[in-house]
Amino acid sequence: MWDQHPLTAVARYPAALRLLHWLVVLLVALQLTLALINAIYYERTPGLAEAAVQAHISVGVLLFGLMLLRLGVRLTRPVPPLPEGMGRAKRRLAHATHAALYVILVALPVTGWLKLAALGYPASVFGILPLPVFEFMPDVARRARNAHELLALALGGLLVLHVGAALFHKRLAGAAVLPRMGIGQTP
């Protein structure tokens, strides 16, 4: 749980969790970009929009697998406690935000797949692994689509809070939380 640095001992998340954190950040950014491409080019360039959807589905399944792996590692490996100087309310908020991010990042791909499956849309993971499809259930598809959109909005809100808090504690409150996720080192 403690990675030793030549000058200082920094409480860091285990290497596997740091790697998965930044891999998931990259994939979430990619997912957002693909969703935007689809929305922007849906009418103007349907071919491009369709390719973006297919990529969004494949990356979504990859993200889902990585999140399950991450959850498995998270629940079985010790992580460093939050910095001492943080008050109780802030600790609770940090834990709640992290837990909500895990739940949302698992639920987003599930609702995305459910939406397509209930429409009978033939999707596959990188053109190799076909995803299961149901019979046509428009009601289920509509609810899954609404849930997917709400979860995406909630993710956006939580990320503003999460990234803001990480930068705030780095720059203003002096708690230097960024090294815990592998960025830099404590002074």
Using CB under 6 A as the criterion, which residues of the chain lie in contact with ligand HEM when the complex forms? 17, 21, 24-25, 28, 74, 79, 82, 98, 101-102, 105, 159, 162-163, 166-167, 177-178, 180-181
Contacts 24+ apart (CB under 8 A), 105-109: 105/24, 105/28, 105/63, 105/67, 105/155, 106/64, 106/67, 106/68, 106/71, 107/147, 107/151, 108/60, 108/63, 108/148, 108/151, 108/152, 108/155, 109/60, 109/61, 109/63, 109/64, 109/67
CB-CB contact of 31 with 60 (8 Å): yes
Q: Shortest gap between Cβ of 13 and ligand HEM (angstroms)? A: 6
- 46 or 85: whose CB is closer to ligand HEM? 85
Minimum gap (Å) between residue 55 Cβ and ligand HEM:
17
Which lies closer to ligand HEM via its Cβ, residue 54 or residue 186?
186
Pick the closer one to ligand HEM by CB: 17 or 114: 17
Closest CA to 82 of 187, 184, 173: 173
Smallest gap from Cβ 8 to ligand HEM, in A, equals 16
Q: 40 vs 163, which CB is nearer to ligand HEM?
A: 163
Q: In whole angstroms, how close is the CB of 178 to ligand HEM at the nearest point?
A: 5
